[in-house]
């Protein structure tokens, strides 16, 4: 299984991979929204102390489609979002705000021009206690989602988009209650060395015993009907480094995880790179988390 | 010249009678002997009816005698031109032709057998419509987009239940995005002839024999000598890029469908990030869901660029400014006047309804069509529409109906003054279409009325107005 690779991928396995983000997104507003990031050590201390009620990070997403020869096909995209989660008396309130994107250009008779920014949706707000997500455009105006009646105007019976059976299967008999959360979720993002054995036990429960070692990493394998999943785990830090999914002899998904480690051994999730096989092409997604902060704002914005 | 389309004598006679009747019925303004005949030629996916509103409006202010014949829009350009000659060939050499989309090329072809004093094209693909060649590539992309949203639901269906709460917030929006994408192509295909089975379709492709002949130096020289005034109205649709094929398919709701698409992909981005940052690593089902969300978000993100490239040049690769269907470079009338509708222009299928001002300009400025003597409007009973709430900002006043408020005022009205004993009806779309709101008195803030606007109110959504 470890020998099967799509399009000449060569996994580079390292116990800890520090993401080096080299691109600077072109900001939609033309202005930077940089804030002072906290060091891994500061984040670890703040997470352990519980004296924080606001988490924020800049999420940068780059995507492209590449063919079997590794050549990019079609347009690519690069966008940055500011993600913030604030603890309120009713639960967590989350906002995702677009802070940067590559502005498109178009040709005119006078040459290439940068297109003006449309008033697109640039912020979504959600709360754990149940209300529907709220969307806001660039001007801060809330955009209302359409009613069932209005939605019907944009669906042709001769061109159904989503298969009703797929939706029914996804929804049938499910519970849609969002789990109530305290601050424990941060332990998945800011991983303490004290939780190392807990994390390894979770791997063991999910995958069974490890199936060997590859390049110094523990190899776990899980058979899922027609698919087989392989996870390579850095046991020292109890985090996965790579995950591969093989179906019918083809590698259909290849994921690499990136981390940053503090001097005291705390491991931060810093990014992920996912390659998915779609027909004969690969969709490549790189998502990075930067400028992480944990703050005690006490209700202050 | 090609042979005329086979048609029985009885059919011709019937169509002629029907056509003449339609013109007579549609003419509410009494024509005068000096009125110039203006033939409005429709494009694909429509009939003479598509021009009836503009023809009537222009006739009310200009000394023109309009005709709006209906043609078999799927037939070869040459056949349609022959049919046009059959229907309105009796008009004199002072005739002016106004053609939308393919109608512009039909009018040019008609001129090979009928003299014209002027020829105005609107959104016409003079050098071809690249979409004809690129549609199958875009259809492949669109199929993948719809598949990716289906895949999100499939992935949720493969496990239970710790992440299903995400669906409670987003399943409707994600379904809507996929439904709109799936429906967009048949909507567009029915509107602009991108169906290989139609005889006219190959002729629309850039580099076709028909277009090569039409734009040959010889024919352009002939046109220059034969038609004193030739003008191409070139439109770059308002927000043409944003929403891609969705805007092309649903132009009257262009901003709305783009907003909803944005919302769908924003939700996908949010939860892909949420899972990648927070899901326990042993929860591989969550990572599958996140990958599916990320893929679908990407398709929804790049659909604008894909569509722009699909309508821009054969083989894709670059994005040209366009009217959602025809790129700017192809709308230019070779050797003719360049009349720029600017970057706030109508989308392709709106051009017959929303190009009055520019057609009027060409008719009056370049073709010396005189204004019709108008009856002065009574003063003091005008309704006034304001750009801001509380009757502030810029204002627009009228005592009569406006089938389109114009690009400066489209989707911009926030408060309304209604004169005593009069009523105003606001419409969501041009030509008094879409949802409506009747006001019998002043209204200082249209946000107080639930409506079809992006914010769920009647603020900034009015496109046409009736005043009673």
> Which domains, ranges and CATH numbers included, belong to chain A?
40-145+189-295 (2.50.20)
Q: Taking chain B, what is the end-to-end CA distance rounded to the nearest angstrom?
A: 52
Which single residue is written with the structure tokens 């512009």?
Answer: B104
How far out from the chain centre does Cα A50 lie? 24
Are A127 and A90 in contact by the 8 Å Cβ rule? The answer is yes
Tell me what the pLDDT averaged over chain A comes to: 82
Residue pLDDT, tens place only, B35-91: 999 999 999 888 999 999 999 999 999 999 999 999 999 999 999 999 999 999 999
d(CA A182, CA B412): 45
Name the 3-class secondary structure at A104.
Answer: coil
Sequence-ordered strand ranges (E) for A139-280:
142-143, 190-191, 213-214, 217-224, 227-234, 239-247, 250-261, 267-278
Please report how the helices B9-26 and B49-61 are oriented relative to each other, as an axis angle in degrees rounded to 10: 40
B297: distance to nearest CA of chain A, Å? 10
d(CA B319, CA B305): 7
Kindly provide the ipTM of the predicted complex, given to two decimals: 0.86
Among partner residues A63, A83, A162, which is closest to B175 by beta-carbon distance? A162
Residue pLDDT, tens place only, A235-269: 999 999 999 999 999 999 999 999 998 888 899 99
- CATH class of the domain defined by B9-128+201-237+324-366: alpha beta
Interface contact flag, A179 B282, Cβ < 8 Å: no
**Phi/psi at B266 (5° precision):** -65, -40
Residue of A nearest to B328 (CA): A108
Residue B145 CA: distances (Å) to CA of A66, A101, A277, B300: 16, 21, 14, 7
Residue of A nearest to B278 (CA): A188
Residue of B nearest to A72 (CA): B317
Mean pLDDT of B406-435: 87
A212 at B interface, C-beta within 8 A: no
A136 at B interface, C-beta within 8 A: no
Residue B49 CA: distances (Å) to CA of A269, B42, B405, B465: 61, 8, 21, 21
Among B418, B404, B419, B283, which Cα is nearest to B354's? B404
B255 at A interface, C-beta within 8 A: yes
Task: Find residue B443's DSSP bridge partners.
Answer: B416
d(CA B310, CA B136): 10
CB pairs under 8 A between A and B: 245
Mean pLDDT of A158-175: 75
For residue A299, the model assigns a pLDDT of: 59
For residue A174, the model assigns a pLDDT of: 67
Six token digits for residue A211: 């199936």
B179: distance to nearest CA of chain A, Å? 4
B182 at A interface, C-beta within 8 A: yes
Ordered by start, the domain boundaries in chain B are 9-128+201-237+324-366, 136-191+248-312, 383-467
Residue of B nearest to A272 (CA): B276
B283 at A interface, C-beta within 8 A: yes
Among partner residues B156, B173, B183, which is closest to A170 by beta-carbon distance? B156
For residue A2, the model assigns a pLDDT of: 34
H helix intervals, chain A: 40-49, 148-152, 164-171, 186-189, 196-207
B25 burial via Cβ count (<10 Å: 0-12, 13-18, 19+): exposed
For residue B379, the model assigns a pLDDT of: 56
Residue pLDDT, tens place only, A71-107: 988 888 899 999 999 998 888 899 999 999 888 999 9
**Residue A32: pLDDT band with limits 50, 70, 90:** very low
Residue B199 CA: distances (Å) to CA of A128, B73, B192, B202, B216: 57, 10, 13, 7, 22
Among B221, B140, B10, which Cα is nearest to A65's? B140
Among B32, B28, B82, B94, which Cα is nearest to B55's? B28
Name the 3-class secondary structure at A241.
Answer: strand
For residue B193, the model assigns a pLDDT of: 63
A10 pLDDT more than 50: no
For residue B468, the model assigns a pLDDT of: 87
Residue pLDDT, tens place only, B224-260: 999 999 999 999 999 999 999 999 999 999 999 999 9
For residue A28, the model assigns a pLDDT of: 35
Secondary structure (H, E, C), chain B: CCCCCCCCHHHHHHHHHHHHHHHHHHCCCCCCCCCEEEEEECCCCCCCHHHHHHHHHHHHHECEEEECCCCCCCCCHHHHHHHHHHHHCCCCCCCEEEEECHHHHHHHHHCCCCCCCEEEEECCCCCCCHHHHHHHHHHHHHHHHHHHHHHHHHHHCCCCCCCCHHHHHHHHHHHHHHHHHHHHHHHHHHHHCCCCCCCHHHHHCCCCHHHHHHCCHHHHHHHHHHCCEEEEEECCECCCCCCCHHHHHCHHHHHHHHHHHHHHHHHHHHHHHHHHHHCCCCCHHHHHHHHHHHHHHHHHHHHHHHHHHHHHCCCCCCCECECCCCEHHHHCCCCCEEEECHHHECCHHHCCCCCHHHHHHHHHHHCCCCECCCCCCCCCCCEEEEEECCCEEEEEEECCCECCCCCCCCCCCCEEECCCCCCEEEEEEHHHEEEEEEECCCECCHHHCECCCCCCECCCCCCEEEEC
* CATH fold of B383-467: Gamma-B Crystallin; domain 1 (2.60.20)
Quick check: do B9-128+201-237+324-366 and B383-467 share a fold? no
Tell me what the pLDDT averaged over chain B comes to: 88
A6 pLDDT more than 50: no
For residue B51, the model assigns a pLDDT of: 96
d(CA B301, CA B297): 6
Higher pLDDT, residue B463 or B31 = B463
Are B211 and B128 in contact by the 8 Å Cβ rule? The answer is yes
Among partner residues B161, B321, B452, which is closest to A174 by beta-carbon distance? B161
Are B187 and B180 in contact by the 8 Å Cβ rule? The answer is no
Are B64 and B93 in contact by the 8 Å Cβ rule? The answer is no
A240 at B interface, C-beta within 8 A: yes
For residue B8, the model assigns a pLDDT of: 42
B119 pLDDT more than 90: yes
Contacts of B305 in chain A (CB under 8 A): 74-75, 104
d(CA B369, CA B360): 9
d(CA B352, CA A151): 27
d(CA B240, CA A77): 19
B406: distance to nearest CA of chain A, Å? 20
d(CA B57, CA B375): 15
Six token digits for residue B122: 């609107």
Six token digits for residue A233: 């785990």
Interface contact flag, A135 B262, Cβ < 8 Å: yes
Residue B30 has a CB neighbour count (10 Å cut-off) of 7
Contacts of A180 in chain B (CB under 8 A): none
**Phi/psi at B277 (5° precision):** -85, -30
Higher pLDDT, residue A184 or B100 = B100
Q: Which of A224-228, B27-31, B246-250 has the lowest mean pLDDT?
A: B27-31
**Residue A72 DSSP one-character state:** B
For residue B115, the model assigns a pLDDT of: 96
């Amino acid at each position: 299984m470890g020998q099967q690779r799509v399009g000449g991928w060569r996994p580079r396995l390292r116990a800890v991979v520090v993401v080096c983000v080299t691109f600077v997104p072109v900001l939609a507003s033309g202005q930077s929204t940089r804030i002072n990031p906290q060091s891994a050590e500061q984040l670890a201390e703040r997470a352990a102390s519980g004296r924080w009620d606001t988490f924020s990070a800049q999420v940068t997403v780059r995507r492209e489609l590449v063919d079997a020869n590794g050549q990019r096909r079609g347009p690519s995209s690069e966008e940055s979002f500011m993600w913030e989660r604030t603890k309120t008396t009713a639960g967590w309130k989350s906002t995702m705000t677009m802070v940067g994107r590559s502005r498109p250009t178009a040709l005119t008779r006078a040459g290439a021009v940068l297109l003006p920014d449309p008033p697109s949706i640039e912020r979504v707000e959600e709360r754990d206690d149940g209300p529907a997500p709220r969307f806001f455009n660039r001007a801060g105006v809330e955009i209302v989602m359409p009613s069932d009646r209005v939605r019907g105007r944009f669906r042709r019976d001769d061109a159904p988009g989503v298969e009703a059976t797929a939706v029914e299967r996804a929804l049938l008999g499910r519970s849609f209650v969002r789990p109530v959360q305290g601050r424990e979720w941060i332990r998945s993002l800011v991983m303490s060395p004290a939780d190392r054995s807990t994390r390894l036990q979770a791997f063991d429960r999910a995958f069974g015993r490890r199936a060997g070692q590859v390049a110094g990493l523990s190899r776990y394998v899980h058979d899922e009907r027609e698919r087989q999943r392989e996870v390579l785990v850095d046991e020292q830090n109890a985090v996965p480094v790579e995950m591969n999914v093989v179906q019918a002899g083809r590698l259909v998904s290849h994921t690499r995880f990136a981390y940053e480690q503090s001097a005291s051994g705390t491991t931060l999730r810093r990014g992920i790179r996912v390659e998915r096989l779609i027909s004969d092409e690969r969709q490549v997604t790189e998502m990075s988390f930067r400028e992480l902060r944990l703050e005690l704002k006490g209700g202050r914005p | 010249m090609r042979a005329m389309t086979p048609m029985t004598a009885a059919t011709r006679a019937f169509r002629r009678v029907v056509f003449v009747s339609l013109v007579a019925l549609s003419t509410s303004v009494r024509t005068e002997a000096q009125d110039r005949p203006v033939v409005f030629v429709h494009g694909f996916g429509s009939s003479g009816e598509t021009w009836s509103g503009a023809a009537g409006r222009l006739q009310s202010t200009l000394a023109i005698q309009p005709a709006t014949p209906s043609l078999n829009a799927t037939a070869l350009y040459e056949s349609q031109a022959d049919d046009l000659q059959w229907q309105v060939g009796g008009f004199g050499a002072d005739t002016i032709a106004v053609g939308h989309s393919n109608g512009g090329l039909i009018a040019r072809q008609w001129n090979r057998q009928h003299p014209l004093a002027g020829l105005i094209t609107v959104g016409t693909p003079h050098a071809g419509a690249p979409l004809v060649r690129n549609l199958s590539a875009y259809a492949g992309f669109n199929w993948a987009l719809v598949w990716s949203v289906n895949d999100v639901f499939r992935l949720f269906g493969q496990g239970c239940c710790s992440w299903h709460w995400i669906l409670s917030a987003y399943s409707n929006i994600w379904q809507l995005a996929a439904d709109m994408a799936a429906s967009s192509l048949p909507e567009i295909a029915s509107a602009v002839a991108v169906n290989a089975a139609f005889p006219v379709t190959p002729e629309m492709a850039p580099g076709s024999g028909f277009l090569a002949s039409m734009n040959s130096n010889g024919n352009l020289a002939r046109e220059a000598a034969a038609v004193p005034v030739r003008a191409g109205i070139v439109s770059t649709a308002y927000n043409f890029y944003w929403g891609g094929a969705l805007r092309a398919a649903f132009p009257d709701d262009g901003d709305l469908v783009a907003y909803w698409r944005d919302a769908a992909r924003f939700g996908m981005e949010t939860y892909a990030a949420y899972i990648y940052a927070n899901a326990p690593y042993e929860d591989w089902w969550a990572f599958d869901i996140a990958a599916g969300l990320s893929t679908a978000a990407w398709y929804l993100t790049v659909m604008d660029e894909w569509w722009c490239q699909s309508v821009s040049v054969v083989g894709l690769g670059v994005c040209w400014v366009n009217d959602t269907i025809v790129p700017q470079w192809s709308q230019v009338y070779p050797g003719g006047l360049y009349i720029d509708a600017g970057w706030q222009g109508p989308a392709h299928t709106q051009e017959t309804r929303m190009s009055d001002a520019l057609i009027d300009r060409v008719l009056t400025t370049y073709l010396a069509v005189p204004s019709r003597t108008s009856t002065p409007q009574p003063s003091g009973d005008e309704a006034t529409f304001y750009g801001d709430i509380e009757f502030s900002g810029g204002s627009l006043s009228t005592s009569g109906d406006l089938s389109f408020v114009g690009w400066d005022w489209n989707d911009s009205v926030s408060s309304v003054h209604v004169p005593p004993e009069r009523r105003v009806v606001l419409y969501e779309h041009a030509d008094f279409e879409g949802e409506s709101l009747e006001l019998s008195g002043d209204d200082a803030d249209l946000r107080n009325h639930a409506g079809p606007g992006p914010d769920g109110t009647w603020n900034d959504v009015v496109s046409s107005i009736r005043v009673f």
